[in-house]
């Protein structure tokens, strides 16, 4: 279910045991923001499995911010269904492999391994209904 929140009013509110509203807010500083509850549950499962904090580097994006950061048109980030995440000490492939077990035949998983000019890798996860996989 897609929910709307105010960063200003609800920023500190917990969406689950480990995630607060502000962590999903658009990095352009705008308000409000949108978060799908299925995404929160997915991230909580990842958090519980690895036992370390999930750092969300990009959650909800406005259309303007998505364009500014070179996101795909109609990016799942714009629908509150996606998060780019990294976990300290957990390699991209290990994180993506666990996400695969949580999204069998559904959702989106993008692998972004560390490489020259990209010090730390990350994994994109989303809860779209049609399965999608890629490496960026």
Residues at the contact surface with Zn ion, assessed by CB under 5 A:
82, 84, 124
Question: Which residue lies nearer to Zn ion by CB, 11 or 71?
Answer: 71
Phi, psi torsion values for 40, nearest 5 degrees: -60, -45
Residue 21 or 39 having the CB closest to Zn ion: 39
Minimum gap (Å) between residue 123 Cβ and Zn ion = 9
Residue nearest Zn ion, Cβ-based: 124
Q: Least distance from C-beta 84 to Zn ion, angstroms?
A: 4
Which one, 6 or 57, has the nearer CB to Zn ion?
Answer: 57
Query: Is the Cβ–Cβ distance between 21 and 11 less than 8 Å?
Result: yes
**Residue 90, phi then psi, degrees to nearest 5:** -110, 115
**Is residue 117 a contact partner of residue 127, using CB atoms and an 8 Å limit?**
no
Shortest Cβ 107–Zn ion spacing (Å): 12
Which residues have C-beta within 8 Å of that of residue 63, sequence separation ≥ 6?
78
Q: Which CB sits closer to Zn ion, 10 or 126?
A: 126
Q: How far is CA 4 from CA 15, 65, 115, in A?
A: 12, 18, 35
Helix (H) or strand (E) holding 37: helix 37-50
CB of residue 9 to Zn ion, shortest distance in Å:
26
């Amino acid at each position: 279910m897609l929910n709307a929140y105010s960063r200003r009013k609800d920023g500190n509110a917990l969406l689950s045991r480990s995630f607060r509203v502000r962590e999903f807010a658009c990095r352009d500083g705008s308000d409000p923001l949108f978060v799908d509850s299925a995404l929160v549950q997915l991230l909580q499962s990842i958090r519980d499995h690895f036992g370390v904090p999930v750092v969300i580097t990009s959650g909800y994006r406005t259309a303007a911010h998505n364009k500014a950061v070179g996101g795909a048109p109609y990016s799942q980030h714009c629908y509150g269904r996606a998060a780019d995440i990294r976990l300290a000490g957990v390699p991209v492939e290990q994180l993506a492999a666990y996400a695969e077990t949580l999204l069998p035949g559904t959702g989106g998983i993008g692998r972004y391994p560390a490489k020259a000019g990209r010090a730390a890798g990350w994994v994109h996860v989303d809860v779209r209904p049609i399965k999608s996989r890629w490496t960026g």
